[in-house]
Amino acid sequence: MYAFPKLGGYELGMIRFFGSGLGNILFPWARSVIAAKKYNLKQIAPTWPNLRVGSIIRKESDLRFYMDLFRIPEDNIDGIRKLYLLLRSRRISETEFTKQHISNNLPQDSDTIVIFEGLRGYFDDILKDHDMIKQEILNMTLEKHKAGLSYDFGNSLSLHVRLGDFKVGRQTTLMSWFVNIVNIIRRQLDQNIAVNIFSDGDDSELKPLLDLGNARRLSFGSSIADLLALSCSRILVGSKRSTFGMWASYLGRMPAIWPNGGLQQPLYYDKPYMEVQSDGNNDLPYDFLKACKESLK
């Protein structure tokens, strides 16, 4: 049996069209990796390359083509063998696979591919596998995208300000909320903590944050490079409805702040005080601030 993460959009051989962003497509990939290890399935390489017309039209800084981010692990099936299996093999969903596995009714007489696709409860199926998933991501990421892993994030917090197709006036999170959160943290910690701004917006859109002082824009050249860098942050301030920011939190497990209603599911099952949601007007909880101080050391 085989595991194949269908990353979304329209697949045509070795490329996809109109697929989702990195934060969304990592979910089916991660579930397939965990299932392959758990049930001894052979892994079929995902189709990372993706063409997005909308990204070109909007002139986004990251076009999200994903053509030069990852290497194919040696134990993954790729190339002609991948195409042959996808064309000729029987397919079942991961839900059906689970049911058949429980009932001991898995097919034995032909190649069968378990298809992993969609968000499916976000991190529900991989919540406690963060160490393994992080290592798998590091193993497959090309070295040129790992510069952020050695960047000094000491005595700073990082903002992930998602704009892109959510331009000014339609942002998932108001710029004023980020400004308020920075001011609250600086006041409660009693220090002018540095601010790293990761964003697909331009300087004019980010001006309220840049005007805070001791604030700088950071980018390491690609979506996976920025995601890995964000995962090294000492304190993370995320955007509402951003799976990209949630992945940074999941991999890095640092103190994380979200707008009210912006955390789609709790990620810190063992240390719930490490993630909070805030309206941007009130002080942050004592236990969270204590965790921030520890993280900044």
Query: Is the residue at 195 inside a domain?
Result: yes
Residues 113 and 44 sit within 8 Å (Cβ to Cβ): yes
Query: What are the residue ranges in the chain where pLDDT is below 70?
Result: 52-64, 102-109, 164-172
Encoded tokens for 186: 């600086």
Residue 72 lies inside a defined structural domain of this protein? yes
Paired strand residues for 194: 156
Asked whether 33 and 42 are in contact (CB, 8 A), the reply is no
Residue 234 sits in the same domain as residue 115: no
Domain boundary among the residues 105, 140, 175 is at 140
92-137 per-position pLDDT tens digit: 999 999 887 766 666 666 789 999 999 999 999 999 999 999 999 9
Report yes or no: 27 and 5 within 8 Å, Cβ to Cβ.
no
3-state secondary structure of 169: coil
Phi/psi for 139 (5° steps) reads -65, -35
Residues 121 and 231 in one domain: no
Report how far residue 124's alpha carbon sits from residue 36's, in angstroms, rounded to the nearest whole number.
17
Residues 127, 14 share a domain = yes
Strands 42-43 and 15-17: what pairing? Answer: unpaired
**Res 252: pLDDT:** 98
Question: Where among 140, 168, 190 does a domain terminate?
Answer: 140
Sign of the alpha-carbon torsion through 267, 244, 118, 69: negative
> Which one-letter amino acid corresponds to residue 278?
S
Contacts 24+ apart (CB under 8 A), 78-82: 78/44, 78/45, 82/44, 82/45
In a shared domain, residues 24 and 76: yes
Q: Is the residue at 183 inside a domain?
A: yes
Burial class of residue 37, CB neighbours in 10 A (0-12, 13-18, 19+): middle
- Is 147 inside any structural domain? no
Domain containing 64 equals: 2-140
pLDDT (tens digit per residue) in 231-253: 999 999 999 989 999 999 999 99
Specify whether 227 is located in the same domain as 129.
Answer: no
Give yes or no: residues 130 and 189 share one domain. Answer: no
- The CA distance from 125 to 98, in Å, is 12
Rounded distance between C-alpha atoms, residue 154 and residue 146, angstroms? 18
Residue 204 CA to residue 83 CA, distance in Å, equals 46
Q: Both 211 and 234 in a single domain?
A: yes
pLDDT at 169: 47
Distance CA 118, CA 116 (A): 7
Q: What is the CATH number of the domain that holds 226?
A: 3.40.50.2000
Tokens 């959009």 locate to: 9
- Which pLDDT does position 36 carry in this prediction? 95
Q: Are residue 163 and residue 106 in the same domain, yes or no?
A: no
- Residue 11 in any domain: the answer is yes
Residue 57's pLDDT is 42
Half-sphere exposure of 189 (CA within 13 A, CB side): 25
pLDDT computed for residue 55 by the predictor: 53
Residue 146 in domain: no
Is residue 157 within 8 Å of residue 254, measured between CB atoms? no
pLDDT of 61: 53
Q: Tell which of 112, 140, 168 closes a domain.
A: 140
The dihedrals phi and psi of 114, each to the nearest 5 degrees, come to: -90, 120
What single DSSP character describes residue 46? P
Query: How many structural domains comprise the chain?
Result: 2
